C-alpha cells in the first residue's frame, strides 16, 4: 500500500502485532527494507513494558532483521505497565515505572548486542 501511495508514505513495524501475525520478525523487517521508518516494541507475552517476562521477551530475531536492513530509526515502547501488586486499584508508582524503563533499556541493549 505504501508503495502504491508513493513518496511520503512509509511503514512501521510493531513487535506486539507482529508477534501475533508474523511467522518471523526478521523476515518481516527484511520485507519492509528501506521503507521501514519506525518501530514499536512491547512485551511479547503481555502488551506491557519489555522485561517483565524476560523469558518471553525475545527480540534477537527481529533485531537481526533491523541490522540487516541498516535500520537507524527509533525503537519505541508502546504499551502499558504491569499491575500494581501492592494495590491493584492504583497505578504503579513512578519510581517503579522508572526502574522498569531502565530494566527495559538494559534488556534491549543486551539483545541488540546478541543479534
Q: Which residues bind another protein (CB under 8 A)?
A: 1-14, 16-18, 20-22, 28, 30-35, 37-38, 63, 66-78, 94, 97-98, 101-102, 104-105, 108-109, 112
Nearer to another protein among residue 56 and residue 114 (C-beta): 114
Nearest to 17 by CA among 82, 78, 108: 78
Nearest approach in angstroms of CB 56 to another protein is 18
Nearest approach in angstroms of CB 102 to another protein is 6
The SS3 call for residue 37 is strand
Nearer to another protein among residue 14 and residue 57 (C-beta): 14
Q: In the beta sheet, which residues pair with residue 38?
A: 12
Let me know: does 84 contact 74? Beta carbons within 8 Å.
Answer: no
Nearest approach in angstroms of CB 57 to another protein is 14
Phi, psi (5° rounding) for residue 106? -65, -50
Nearer to another protein among residue 3 and residue 86 (C-beta): 3
Q: How many CB atoms lie within 10 A of CB 81?
A: 14
Amino acid at each position: 500500500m505504501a508503495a502504491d501511495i508513493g513518496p511520503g508514505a512509509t511503514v512501521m513495524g510493531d513487535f506486539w502485532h507482529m508477534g501475533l501475525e508474523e511467522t518471523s520478525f526478521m523476515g518481516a523487517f527484511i520485507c519492509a527494507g528501506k521503507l521501514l521508518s519506525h518501530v514499536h516494541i512491547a512485551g511479547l507475552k503481555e502488551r506491557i513494558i519489555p522485561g517483565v517476562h524476560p523469558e518471553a521477551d525475545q527480540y534477537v530475531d527481529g533485531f537481526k532483521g533491523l541490522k540487516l536492513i541498516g535500520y537507524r530509526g527509533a525503537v519505541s515502547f508502546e504499551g502499558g505497565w504491569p499491575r500494581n501488586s501492592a494495590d491493584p486499584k492504583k497505578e504503579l508508582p513512578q519510581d517503579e515505572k522508572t526502574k522498569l524503563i531502565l530494566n527495559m533499556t538494559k534488556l534491549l541493549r543486551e539483545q541488540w548486542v546478541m543479534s
